[in-house]
Amino acid sequence: MNKKVFIFDLDGVIVDTAKYHFLAWKKMADSLGIPFTHEDNELLKGVSRVHSLEIILDLGNVSLSQIEKEKCLLQKNKDYLAYIEKMNESEILPGVIRVLDFLKEQGQKIVLGSASKNAKPILEKAKVIHYFDALVDGNDVTNAKPDPEVFLQGALKVKMPNEACVVFEDSLAGIQAANAAHMVSIGIGSHHVLHEADFCFNDFTTISNSFLLDIINN
């Protein structure tokens, strides 16, 4: 049996936490008088917490001292974690469990590659942490996507070559990171946004077992 490593991004791939990031950032933006829309929130997908704050401040043409920024980041994460606290497995995106089960049955490695520093508690809340052979998250990396570091570390953790890795991602920066790592990139979401992906699906319900077998065997 051929063995591949399937690296899953978290937010927007396994669970839809973007709505909670939005609510927490929106509260902060409101407090600073910065207009912040759902469309603006799209700019933050796959982007680190610190960089997300910079993007929002730029949107509002607001500048803050380092101490004020730290305070905003702490409060935003506190508000975000309050939403995560109430999360459960009902928030896993459609088709994800079927694909995880199929890959496990096929003896494939499963790794997390996320920019989030909250990845572990989210996987625990969603009751999917047992599927993973290794986790790489925002606490482990110094260079954010589109830098390939997060995925390269994932391959290293399971001692497999980069060329044997397949990445599921919902952000363009994540697809670019997978391509830069010479891994197969599979976009989850709009083809229009994820046009640099090797393959693209609207969601996991449209990924067939035969497609996965082709990936495993090629």
Residues that bind Mg ion (CB under 5 A): 9, 11-12, 46, 170-171
Q: Which of Mg ion, ligand B16, none interacts with 21 (beta carbon under 5 to 8 A by kind)?
A: ligand B16
Extract the tokens encoding 28.
């902060």
CA distances from 145 to 103, 148, 177 (A): 25, 6, 6
> Smallest gap, in angstroms, from Cβ of residue 67 to Mg ion?
30
Query: Which residues touch 183 (CB under 8 Å, ≥6 apart)?
Result: 7, 151, 155, 162, 163, 165, 166, 167
Name the segment binding ligand B16 (CB under 6 A); options: 6-14, 58-66, 128-136, 200-208: 6-14
The contact mask relative to ligand B16 for 31-70 (x = CB under 6 A, - = no) is -------------xxxxxx--x------------------
Strand, coil or helix: 48: coil
Q: Whole-angstrom Cα distance, residue 154 to residue 6?
A: 10
CB of 2 to ligand B16, least distance (A): 27
With CB under 6 A as the contact rule, the residue among 108, 118, 153, 185 that binds ligand B16 is 118
Q: How many residues bind ligand B16 (CB under 6 A)?
A: 19
The residue with its CB nearest to Mg ion is 12
- The answer to whether 200 touches 179, Cβ cutoff 8 Å, is no
Exposure class string for 130-139: b at 16+ Cβ within 10 A, else e = ebbbbbbbbe
- Minimum CB–partner distance for residue 13 and Mg ion (Å): 6
Nearer to Mg ion, 137 or 170 (CB): 170
Contact between 153 and ligand B16 (CB under 6 A)?
no
- Give the pair of three-digit tokens for residue 49: 């917490």
Closer residue to ligand B16, CB minimum distance, 48 or 108: 48
Q: Is 10 in the site for ligand B16 (CB under 6 A)?
A: yes
Residue type, 1: M
Closest approach of Mg ion to the CB of residue 194, in Å: 11
Q: Which helix (H) or strand (E) holds 80?
A: helix 66-85
Residue 112 token pair:
């997390």
C-alpha span between 58 and 150 (Å, rounded): 26
Q: So which residues are the catalytic ones?
A: 9, 11
115 binds, among Mg ion, ligand B16, none (CB under 5 to 8 A by kind): ligand B16
First and final C-alpha spacing in the chain:
11
In the complex, minimum distance from the CB of residue 52 to ligand B16, in angstroms, rounded to a whole number: 5
Residue ranges that bind ligand B16, judged by CB under 6 A: 9-12, 21, 44-49, 52, 77, 114-118, 138
